[in-house]
Amino acid sequence: MQIWDTTGTIPRPQRVAAILWLSFLMAGIATGIFFSLIDPMELKYCVDFPEVNRTAAYSVGFLLFWLLTGTSSMLAVFFTHPCADGPEAPHDSPDRN
């Protein structure tokens, strides 16, 4: 079973874009909303938050969001792979086991 070749018909750049690029956009939106509501400088009063400047907090926040959304996209792409003997598995799929 190939993890990345989900249906055998989607070109590689499209699969990479579906994982990395869309999650990048969503992480950007999430970062924007999160940090416009929450000031990272005030987080340290509430939780044990490391002493960093705002730029670093935003950057790390964005990268963490990206990790999260990217993982979700990766799992979504992975789960679109047809199940081995599922009714929807295409009969002429080249990588069908």
Q: Which residues are at the interface with another protein (CB under 8 A)?
A: 9-11, 13-14, 17, 21-22, 25, 32-33, 35-37, 39, 53-56, 58-59
Query: Which long-range contacts link 80-88 to residues 24+ away (Cβ below 8 Å)?
Result: 80/6, 80/7, 81/1, 81/3, 81/6, 81/7, 82/7
Work out the widest C-alpha separation in the chain, in whole angstroms. 60
Q: In the complex with another protein, which residue's Cβ is closer, 4 or 39?
A: 39
**Residue 60 Cβ, how far from another protein at the closest point, in Å?**
9
Supply the minimum distance, in Å, between the C-beta of residue 35 and another protein: 8
Query: Closest CB to another protein among 42 and 85?
Result: 42
Decide: 90 and 96 in contact? Cβ < 8 Å: yes
Question: Closer CB to another protein, residue 44 or residue 54?
Answer: 54
